């Protein structure tokens, strides 16, 4: 096993152990659920009607996800990295993930797309949304469905795509 894989597994176990010792599994499930996607739709549609930045917010978010979703699926199915909850012997997960593969983290990519859009339209809220996006990523590790490198890849995918989207729009 190479050094990067060992470090990735070490960090994975450290985060999972911390979560269990602090009894944060329920909190991790709740934080993870905030990154499921429906929240983005509800908020962006509400902003269309309630704020002068709503159209720009909606357009950025929509284009970000239109590009991210197929790219995420392509990467995940090309790399085919098995989720830790399936790969690590004796590991008990907290819920059934939607697929078998972990790299990149789609929840994290989506959360960082959202955070970047908030940063673009409402910069004063950026620190809070980036912290939330990072917490979504950590929750995915705590739940046993992603390694730390999956989270880093999701962050990179989300942020990188939004740099591209902001140049397009």
Active site residues: 107, 146
Residue 3, token pair as written in the block: 């050094």
Distances (CA, A) of 139 to 35, 61, 114: 10, 22, 17
User: How many whole angstroms separate alpha carbon 121 and alpha carbon 159?
Assistant: 15
User: How many whole angstroms separate alpha carbon 43 and alpha carbon 65?
Assistant: 14
The helix/strand/coil state of 111 is: helix
Could you tell me the maximum CA-CA distance found in the chain, to the nearest angstrom?
Answer: 53
Nearest to 145 by CA among 81, 83, 82, 72: 83
Neighbours of 137 (CB within 10 A): 27
Nearest to 8 by CA among 72, 81, 109: 81
């Amino acid at each position: 096993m190479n050094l990067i894989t060992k470090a990735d597994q070490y960090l994975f176990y450290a985060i999972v152990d911390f979560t269990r010792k602090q009894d944060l599994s329920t909190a991790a499930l709740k934080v993870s659920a905030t990154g499921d996607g429906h929240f983005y739709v509800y908020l962006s549609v509400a902003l269309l009607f309630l704020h002068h930045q709503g159209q720009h917010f909606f357009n950025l978010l929509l284009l970000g996800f239109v590009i991210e979703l197929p790219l995420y699926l392509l990467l995940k199915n090309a790399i085919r990295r098995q989720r830790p909850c399936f790969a690590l012997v004796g590991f008990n997960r907290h819920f059934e993930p939607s697929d078998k593969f972990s790299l990149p983290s789609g929840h994290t990519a989506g959360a960082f797309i959202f955070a970047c859009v908030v940063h673009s339209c409402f910069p004063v809220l950026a620190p809070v949304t980036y912290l939330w996006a990072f917490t979504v990523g950590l929750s995915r590790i705590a739940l046993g469905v992603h390694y730390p490198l999956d989270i880093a890849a999701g962050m990179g995918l989300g942020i990188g795509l939004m740099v591209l989207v902001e140049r397009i729009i």
